[in-house]
């Protein structure tokens, strides 16, 4: 790794460790393709808002009991390497980390976390499909688009693109679930392809009785050759089963034939289970949930409507909502009116209200706005997966607020006898489907207004009580001082003096022969070309952390000014060789106290520059740094002064 990058990642590691509550609060650390994943003993000690502002971090959230910090593909590998080194946890795998996290969660939390993990990886595809669906719906209702051959053709392609993604969503879910549970993702794709094979009757057509279904007889059981379009719950189950089969056969099949036999057995057994056990169970679960919800709306009056619209988005989490299309079609065939469409529509817009409320609560956070705005836009066109999995389910209380708002909208739907004369679109495009009888269009708008307002207000209220506030004491943790230490909390002085921390020649930071230090990437400061291998405390303070490689010390003065003393350039590669630490994390030290000794000559013979920068890493805006002029440096020489602006 490039030395400049290494030093930048060291600063990130130091800051992250502090913001998650210190080394003692870290149970484990690992990474996936884009995220650094940390399991903490106490999540309340992590300052999530401050972590979002860490250099190179693109976002942070808590999933289950993992604090996940998004750095991006490639970069996360390098950050993890340095962070794990710093915290002495480098050999922990992602599987080990999940085991640690799962120990702290109850069964319901584990299920929710697994669902979230599965959908997070495929969220970009869902979001793309959502926006394309909305765009196609809007364009399709414009007369000039219908009349123009080119625009009509473009809109048709947009419609095909959006429909294709959702049409193959079970395949994507099977892939992601297999990957999530430790199997080879390609086998999840294979199972997904089997679920959607052209050799099977289309599930929607079969439900409507418009296609002939072939039945096989295997071991005396009738197996219907019907596809699993919309079968998200089946895809989730099959992804899990495929992963476990893959792990099992990889362990049991002899290595000499493993490459050929293991995937063959996984696919064969998985396919048999799909058609004989998992498929029927998944379909039964789907049918049971759907029928129960429909029964409530038909038999429980306003309460049934409220419960359906309040809980409908929880069904979306499992993917079972795709079954409603067949029920809506049957309702229209039997009665000519579809009461489910407006109920689902108000449930959707209420989740949008929850997203808006969460964004308002965190309006100063740019990354939150970047997440919430596109999620809300997709809600307007009837697609809630980005909002659910990207915001509401992740932070928990918004989805509750959204469900309450949905129930409120459902009450209005019941009281106004609102229904639709078609199905397939909701929210903004869905108004075209509203039954105009009895001021249907006006009632449609009122119901949605109540739902979005209800979701917005309830999320704000719940947020006051349910949102975890990062511990304000996370950055103030330190060991209690001895009784004979008479230092009491004192008013921060107008000026702090930092004395010589090494014997040698004081030089400007710009003169250090390293771009990271010279360009002050880690912060401003001074540097010393040492005459001997000793580093001292530049003032009274506390050792906040010392690297396992002993080449760098993080130090906080009595008044909280933070510095990093870095011995040499790229000396982390020595892995502690030639260094001896005389202090440990949390030690209180006095000015001039010996901190680290190092073999200057041996390090130089190894080809490393032994210059020692002292970097002021986090000076507040109200303070400024005054650097002493270059010259001879001793422990009694003033190196720098920090004073109020």
- Annotated catalytic residues are 32, 566
CB 229 within 8 A of CB 206: no
**Token match 């750095």: residue?**
71
Report CA torsion sign: 594, 595, 598, 600: negative
**Token match 């230490």: residue?**
485
Tokens matching residue 310:
């309040």
Tokens matching residue 147:
């009349």
Question: Residue 302, class by beta-carbon neighbours within 10 Å (0-12 exposed, 13-18 middle, 19+ buried)?
Answer: middle
The DSSP annotation for 83-143 comes to HHHHHT-TT--HHHHHHHHHHTS-HHHHHHHHHHHHHHHHHHHHHHHHHHHHHHHHHHT-H
**Token match 């071991």: residue?**
219
Interatomic CA distance for residues 288 and 528, integer angstroms? 74
Interatomic CA distance for residues 282 and 323, integer angstroms? 12
By C-alpha distance, which of 571, 493, 560, 561 is closest to 535? 571
- Strand-pairing partners, residue 216, are 223
Tokens matching residue 113:
């976390």
Interatomic CA distance for residues 169 and 164, integer angstroms? 8
Q: 497 — phi, psi (to 5°)?
A: -110, 130
Interatomic CA distance for residues 159 and 502, integer angstroms? 69
CB 39 within 8 A of CB 27: yes
CA 144 from chain center: how many Å?
42
Interatomic CA distance for residues 423 and 337, integer angstroms? 10
Half-sphere exposure (Cβ direction) of 304: Cα atoms closer than 13 Å? 13
Which DSSP category does 338 fall into? Answer: B
By C-alpha distance, which of 33, 35, 22 is closest to 61? 35
Interatomic CA distance for residues 422 and 433, integer angstroms? 6
In terms of DSSP H, where are the helices of 319-361? 324-335, 340-361
Tokens matching residue 571:
């000396």
- Strand-pairing partners, residue 627, are 640
> What is the enclosing helix (H) or strand (E) of 505?
strand 504-508
The DSSP annotation for 558-603 comes to TT--EEEEE-SSSGGGGTTTTEEES--TT-EE-TT-EEEEE-HHHH
By C-alpha distance, which of 405, 490, 397 is closest to 447? 405
Residue 393: CB partners within 8 Å, gap ≥ 6?
112, 115, 116, 317, 399
SS3 content of the chain, % helix, strand, coil (to 5): 55, 15, 30
Interatomic CA distance for residues 504 and 408, integer angstroms? 74
Helix H, strand E, coil C: the string for 592-615 is CCEEEEECHHHHHHCCCCCCEEEE
């Amino acid at each position: 790794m490039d030395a400049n990058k290494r030093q930048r990642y060291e600063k990130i590691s130091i800051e992250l460790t502090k913001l998650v509550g210190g080394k003692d609060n870290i149970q484990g650390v690992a990474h996936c393709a884009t995220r650094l994943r940390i399991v903490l003993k106490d999540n309340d000690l992590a300052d999530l808002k401050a972590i979002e502002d860490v250099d190179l971090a693109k976002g942070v959230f808590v999933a289950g009991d993992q604090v996940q910090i998004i750095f991006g593909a490639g970069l996360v590998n390098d950050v993890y390497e340095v962070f794990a080194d710093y915290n002495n946890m480098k050999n922990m795998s992602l599987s080990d980390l999940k085991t640690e996290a799962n120990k702290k969660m109850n069964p319901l939390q584990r299920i929710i976390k697994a669902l979230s993990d599965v959908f997070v990886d495929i969220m970009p595809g869902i979001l793309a499909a959502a926006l394309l669906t909305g765009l196609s719906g809007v364009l399709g209702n414009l007369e000039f688009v219908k009349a123009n051959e080119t625009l009509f053709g473009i809109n048709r392609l947009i419609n095909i693109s959006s429909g294709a993604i959702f049409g193959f969503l079970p395949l994507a879910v099977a892939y992601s679930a297999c990957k999530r549970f430790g199997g080879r993702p390609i086998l999840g794709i294979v199972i997904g392809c089997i679920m959607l094979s052209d050799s099977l009757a289309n599930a929607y057509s079969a439900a409507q009785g418009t296609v002939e279904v072939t039945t096989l007889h295997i071991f005396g059981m009738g197996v219907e050759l019907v596809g699993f379009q919309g079968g998200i719950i089946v895809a989730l189950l099959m992804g899990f089963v495929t992963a476990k089969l893959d792990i099992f056969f990889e362990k049991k099949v002899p290595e000499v034939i493993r490459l050929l036999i293991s995937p063959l057995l996984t696919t064969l057994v998985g396919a048999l289970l799909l058609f004989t056990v998992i498929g029927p169970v998944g379909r039964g679960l789907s049918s049971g949930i759907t029928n129960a919800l429909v029964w409530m709306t038909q038999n429980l009056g306003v309460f049934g409507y409220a419960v359906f619209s309040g809980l409908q988005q929880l069904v979306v989490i499992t993917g079972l909502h795709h079954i409603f299309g067949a029920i809506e079609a049957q309702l229209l065939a039997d009665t000519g009116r579809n009461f489910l469409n407006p109920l689902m529509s108000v449930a959707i817009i209420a989740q949008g209200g929850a997203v808006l409320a969460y964004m308002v609560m965190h309006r100063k956070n740019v990354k939150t706005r970047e997440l919430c705005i596109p999620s809300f836009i997709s809600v307007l066109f009837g697609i809630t997966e980005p909002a659910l999995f990207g915001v509401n389910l992740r932070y928990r209380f918004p989805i509750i607020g959204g469900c309450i708002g949905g129930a409120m909208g459902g009450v209005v739907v019941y009281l106004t006898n609102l229904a639709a004369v078609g199905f397939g679109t909701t929210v903004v495009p869905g108004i075209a489907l509203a039954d105009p009888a009895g001021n249907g269009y006006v009632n449609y708008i009122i119901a949605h207004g109540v739902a979005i307002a209800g979701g917005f207000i309830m999320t704000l209220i719940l947020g006051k009580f349910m949102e975890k506030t990062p511990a304000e004491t996370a950055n103030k943790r330190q060991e209690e001082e001895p009784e004979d230490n008479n230092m009491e909390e004192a008013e921060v002085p107008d000026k702090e003096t930092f004395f010589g921390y090494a014997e040698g020649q004081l030089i400007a930071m710009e003169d250090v022969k390293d771009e990271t230090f010279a360009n002050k990437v880690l912060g401003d400061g001074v540097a010393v070309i040492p005459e001997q291998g000793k580093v001292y405390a530049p003032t009274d303070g506390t050792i906040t952390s010392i690297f396992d490689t002993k080449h760098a010390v993080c130090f906080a003065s009595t008044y909280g000014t933070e510095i990093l003393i870095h011995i040499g350039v790229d000396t982390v590669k020595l892995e502690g060789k030639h260094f001896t630490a005389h202090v440990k994390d949390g030690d209180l030290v006095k000015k001039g106290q010996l901190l680290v000794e190092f073999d200057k000559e041996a390090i130089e013979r190894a080809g490393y520059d032994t210059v020692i920068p002292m970097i002021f890493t986090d000076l507040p805006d109200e303070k400024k740094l005054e650097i002493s002029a270059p010259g001879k440096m001793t422990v009694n020489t003033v190196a720098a002064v920090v004073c109020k602006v």
